[in-house]
Amino acid sequence: MSLFLRIIRRNRWAQEFWDLHDYDWLDKNDIPIEPLFDILAVDKNGNLQKEISVWYIHDDKSNLERIIAALAASRSNIDVFDYLLIEEGIITSFGFKLKKIKGETADKHANENWHYNINHLSGFKLVNLIKEILTYRKKIIDFNKFEDDNIDRKTAKEIKKLINKARCSNWINPSEIKVSKSQLD
Amino acid sequence: MSLFEAINEYSPNTRGGIPTFEKEIDKIDEKLFPYNKTSKDLGEDWEFNKQTTVTKKPAPFIITAQDSYLLVECKSAEFIPFQEEYQISSIVDFKKNIREQINEIFKNAKIENFEDGMDSEFSKKLVSLIKNYENNSIEILSDMIMNENVTVDIASEALRWIGRIKHEETHDARFDLLIKSLTHSSPFIRDGAIIGLDLMEDPKAVPYLIESIKNEKLTLIRKDMLQVLENLENL
């Protein structure tokens, strides 16, 4: 089953962190508001985007590092990289549409082949999508198998290595790397 | 405008956290200096080491602030020339001003949506503040973060930048703040501290991380600590 990567802030999806927000009133069928911040985005002018940008990941995750490197190289600074992997089946089962569209990273191949937008968004579908992701995540946490988690973090150190790897492998155009060279040494 | 604000306005340069400037001005704001007033009348903001009376008239004044002294000179022939040296007796006021600036930066950050790896208005202002006020700013940030006087998710973001900044003069103070934050009651703060330490790449953090891992209750945070520990051990 193919996967799709979405950049998130991991702590918005972690039960341990929600517990601090006084969610004892939350209905068991409801979800905390935090994950919505990662699914809904605003553009530079503050307008709500009605599509969700995601990246296609092969089922064996063979292009995962390459995509992370491409996205991280497009940032201003080396930093942690938090991401969510969503199964394609989950996306389509809720009635969303996936549309291939050119990405905007330093990796031309990734831009042309692996970037998609999720369309046909609605409030009801989005909440159900998040619920589904969180339910899956809870199962994983219950078994304490973080290595199989669909939400993960690469440390700054790992990101630096990945960008350098992408540079050496000619995955990314060095002139399009936005992270300063001094941060990559 | 307070004396401190005037100093800042006239000179953005600081030395060791103490404002240093030399500026000729045409007019002295009476709030800045004690025209026909004594230090007693000035209230708690500024206290002078001697009683002073200055004629209240515009004149070219030269003000020089260095270390803990403020030198005010009037060289005009029109008025009685004078030269007075004032002691900036209350560094607390200086820090109060830094604290107010930090509060303002944190307040404005509430409407920002931070993105990992991206500069923000918050990060730009925070970095500038730290470079200007050096260890004084870290001391105040530390007090505010450890005493939970700031929003935790913004404090967490601040800690990332505290680790990221390349600024040798404040390295030790920033390192100490990150280490202290590893044991903060809020996991948001601990998370920011771990990221900050990873970005700082100072292997001196290793024993502190080992100790924190033993006490960390949250699996997710412990996992991050182990990862950063491994990174630092392999430097």
Is A42 near chain B, with CB under 8 Å? Answer: yes
What residues in chain B have per-residue pLDDT under 70? 1-94
Instruction: Look at residue B56 in the predicted model and tell me its pLDDT.
Output: 33
Please return the burial class of B205, using the count of CB atoms within 10 Å of its CB with bins 0-12, 13-18 and 19+.
Answer: buried
* Cβ within 8 Å, pair B118-A146: no
Q: What distance in Å separates the CA atoms of residue B148 and residue B125, rounded to the nearest whole number?
A: 21
The residue of chain B with its CA nearest to that of A42 is B113
What residues in chain A have per-residue pLDDT under 70? 19-21, 44, 137-149
* Cβ within 8 Å, pair A82-B191: no
Q: What is the pTM of this model?
A: 0.76
Q: Answer yes or no: are the C-beta atoms of B81 and B119 closer than 8 Å.
A: no
The residue of chain A with its CA nearest to that of B189 is A17
The pLDDT tens digits for B158-176 are: 999 999 999 999 999 999 9
Interface test with A, best of B110, B111, B116 (most A CBs within 10 A): B116
* Cβ within 8 Å, pair B117-A78: yes
- Whether the ipTM is more than 0.90: the answer is no
> Residue B230 belongs to what H/E stretch?
helix B219-233
Domain boundaries, chain A: 3-184
Q: What distance in Å separates the CA atoms of residue B144 and residue B141, rounded to the nearest whole number?
A: 5
Helix (H, G, I), strand (E, B) or coil at B62: strand
Is A36 near chain B, with CB under 8 Å? Answer: no
* Cβ within 8 Å, pair B224-A155: yes
Q: What distance in Å separates the CA atoms of residue A171 and residue A67, rounded to the nearest whole number?
A: 10
Structure-token pair, residue B65: 């602030």
Q: What distance in Å separates the CA atoms of residue A15 and residue A134, rounded to the nearest whole number?
A: 9
Q: How far apart are the first and last CA of chain B?
A: 49
Q: What distance in Å separates the CA atoms of residue B6 and residue B33, rounded to the nearest whole number?
A: 11
Instruction: Look at residue B166 in the predicted model and tell me its pLDDT.
Output: 92
Instruction: Look at residue B92 in the predicted model and tell me its pLDDT.
Output: 43
Instruction: Look at residue A137 in the predicted model and tell me its pLDDT.
Output: 66
* Cβ within 8 Å, pair B118-A155: no
